């Protein structure tokens, strides 16, 4: 190995090595929350449902409402996290073809994916996905319709409150509405890099 290559690789290894002392995480007081006024004098669910609608998502106050939405939309075949399906299948109701193992070879056949979320944020209409609690990342990313089910008790008022509750887990995704992108002319297109439709569902189960 040449000296130049060893020098470059040595610098890469040094850059990737853990820091001897990490900087403390910054504080996120509620006063810095951009949409704090959205919560003034309102219930958390009402504020959350309004924000979800503003980002082109659908907020379902219970699992039955989510099942009704899927049937009405003609979205009947999909994947569900096995633990969620075992606990909530009866509430989703009949008429849905649900698999609890995501088969990559048949990826295009799944019309929806139901996965667990760690919580949601009322001020922004955001749903929080935690890798450690997600049975299949493809189940949340590949189908056109993603149904994120979170424990009703984990609806946080603000981003600051959610950040404090989630701790130092480095594998968390904050999702606000369906996947979106825009070209240089500013034309917004949904569903390019992920689901084109998002349902966020509050359910009674432990987080």
- 4-63 pLDDT per residue, tens: 888 999 899 988 888 778 777 777 666 655 555 556 656 889 999 999 999 999 999 999
More confident site: 82 or 183: 82
Residue 95 contacts residue 69 (beta carbons within 8 Å):
no
Q: What is the DSSP letter of 27?
A: P
Kindly report the backbone phi and psi dihedral angles of residue 123, in degrees, each rounded to the nearest multiple of 5, phi listed first.
Answer: -70, -20
| Helix, coil or strand: residue 187 | coil
Taking CA 174 as the corner, what is the angle to CA 26 and CA 56, rounded to the nearest 5 degrees?
135
Residue range 148-188, pLDDT digits in tens: 999 999 999 888 889 888 887 878 889 998 887 777 677 77
Token representation of residue 57:
């998502």
CA distances from 91 to 62, 68, 77, 193, 202 (A): 9, 10, 16, 30, 12
Give the position of tokens 């890099």.
193
CA distances from 104 to 107, 109, 127, 138 (A): 5, 10, 25, 8
The proportion of the chain whose per-residue pLDDT surpasses 70, expressed as a percent, equals 90
Longest distance between any two alpha carbons in the chain, whole Å: 68
**Topology at the third CATH level for domain 43-203:** Rossmann fold (3.40.50)
């Amino acid at each position: 190995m040449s000296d130049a290559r060893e020098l470059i690789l040595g610098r890469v290894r040094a850059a990737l090595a853990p820091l001897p002392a990490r900087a403390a995480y910054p504080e996120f007081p509620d006063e810095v929350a951009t949409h704090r006024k959205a919560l003034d004098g309102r219930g958390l669910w009402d504020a959350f449902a309004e924000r979800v609608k503003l980002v082109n998502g659908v907020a379902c106050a219970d699992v039955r409402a989510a099942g009704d939405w899927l049937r009405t939309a003609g979205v009947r075949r999909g994947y569900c996290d096995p633990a969620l399906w075992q606990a909530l299948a009866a509430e989703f109701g009949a008429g849905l073809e649900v698999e609890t193992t995501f088969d990559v070879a048949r990826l295009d056949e799944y019309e929806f994916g139901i996965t667990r979320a760690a919580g949601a944020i009322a001020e922004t209409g955001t749903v929080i996905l935690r890798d450690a609690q997600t049975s299949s990342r493809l189940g949340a990313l590949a189908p056109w319709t993603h149904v994120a089910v979170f424990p009703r008790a984990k609806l946080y008022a603000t981003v600051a409150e959610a950040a404090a509750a989630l701790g130092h887990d480095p594998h968390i995704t904050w999702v606000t509405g369906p996947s979106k992108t825009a070209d240089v002319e500013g034309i917004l297109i949904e569903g390019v890099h992920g689901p084109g439709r998002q349902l966020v569902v509050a359910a009674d189960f432990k987080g």
